[in-house]
């Protein structure tokens, strides 16, 4: 079965969708990426933000939304590439939407930067839509190719802010409720005092708690958390 014949949930993780993205103060960035996903005339977007701010979630959600409207989509984390990065970047194309994550990984790598510059120009000529993501804005990434910095800076900039603890608690509560897990304030306070509080770690932890509570047929309470995670 070819990738474009796979069910949507198999191509793009189901938990990374626009409807599961808790925007908080990032509503403007969400709107920009949503438009890019489905509108061929939308501006290209450069999403920036620290780790766990939701960059990858937005890019994968955009690919899922594009695919759902019969647009072809590709996602690639440049951090996943090694010495073959220039060739891998040049091989990209043929999609209506191309989402490139972790641009930090090629900063200072001359051949990879030139490959991305060429891909950018080819995308303009072939009227693709691009989404880019990195930890910082283009001018602060350490990219050595001035023309590439200029091209990336010309994209519509979509900075992301980290959610505060109150917002992250609400996200965790909503995601738990979607699985049939009730997390009361006491359980949430216990978790946030003893575990990593970025959304990626919390979601991974929720997966574990879901499995453990189903296996034990127990509610997720503080005694249960102590048993599973230790005191």
Q: How would you write the pLDDT of the chain (231 residues) with one tens digit per residue?
A: 344 433 344 468 887 899 989 999 999 999 999 999 999 999 999 999 998 899 999 999 999 999 999 999 999 999 988 777 899 999 998 899 999 999 999 999 999 999 999 999 999 999 999 999 999 999 999 999 999 999 999 999 999 999 988 888 998 999 899 889 999 999 999 999 998 887 778 888 999 999 999 999 999 999 999 999 986
Top-tier CATH class for 3-159: alpha beta
Residue 203 has a pLDDT of 83
- pTM value? 0.84
**Distances from the Cα of 28 to the Cαs of 24, 34, 46, 140, 170, in angstroms?**
10, 10, 13, 22, 20
In angstroms, the CA 173 to CA 176 distance is 5
pLDDT value of position 15: 79
Check residue 159 and give its pLDDT.
98
Q: What is the dihedral of CA 45, 165, 21, 179, to 10 degrees?
A: 160
Alpha-carbon distance 120 to 154, whole Å? 11
Q: What are phi and psi of 73, to 5 degrees?
A: -135, 145
Q: Is 120 in a helix, a strand, or coil?
A: helix
Tokens 């014949």 correspond to 5
Matching residue, tokens 């925007």: 23
Domain residue limits, the chain: 3-159, 165-229
Q: Which of 86, 57, 62 is nearest to 74 (CA)?
A: 62
């Amino acid at each position: 079965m070819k990738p474009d014949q796979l069910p949507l949930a198999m191509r793009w993780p189901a938990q990374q969708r626009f409807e599961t993205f808790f925007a908080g103060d990032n509503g403007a960035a969400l709107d920009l990426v949503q438009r890019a996903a489905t509108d061929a005339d939308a501006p290209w977007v450069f999403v920036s933000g620290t780790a766990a701010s939701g960059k990858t979630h937005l890019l994968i959600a955009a690919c899922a939304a594009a695919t759902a409207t019969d647009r072809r989509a590709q996602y690639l984390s440049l951090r996943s590439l090694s010495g073959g990065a220039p060739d891998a970047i040049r091989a990209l194309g043929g999609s209506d939407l191309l989402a490139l994550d972790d641009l930090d990984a090629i900063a200072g790598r001359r051949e990879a930067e030139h490959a991305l510059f060429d891909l950018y120009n080819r995308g303009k000529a072939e009227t693709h839509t691009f989404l880019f993501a990195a930890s910082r804005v283009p001018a602060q990434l350490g990219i050595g190719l001035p023309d590439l910095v200029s091209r990336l800076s010309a994209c519509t900039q979509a900075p992301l802010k980290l959610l505060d603890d109150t917002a992250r608690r609400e996200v965790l509560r909503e995601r738990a409720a979607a699985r049939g897990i009730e997390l009361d304030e006491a359980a949430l306070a216990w978790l946030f005092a003893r575990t990593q509080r970025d959304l990626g770690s919390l979601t991974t932890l929720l997966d574990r708690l879901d499995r453990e509570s189903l296996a034990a047929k127990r509610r997720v309470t503080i005694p249960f958390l102590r048993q599973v995670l230790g005191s």
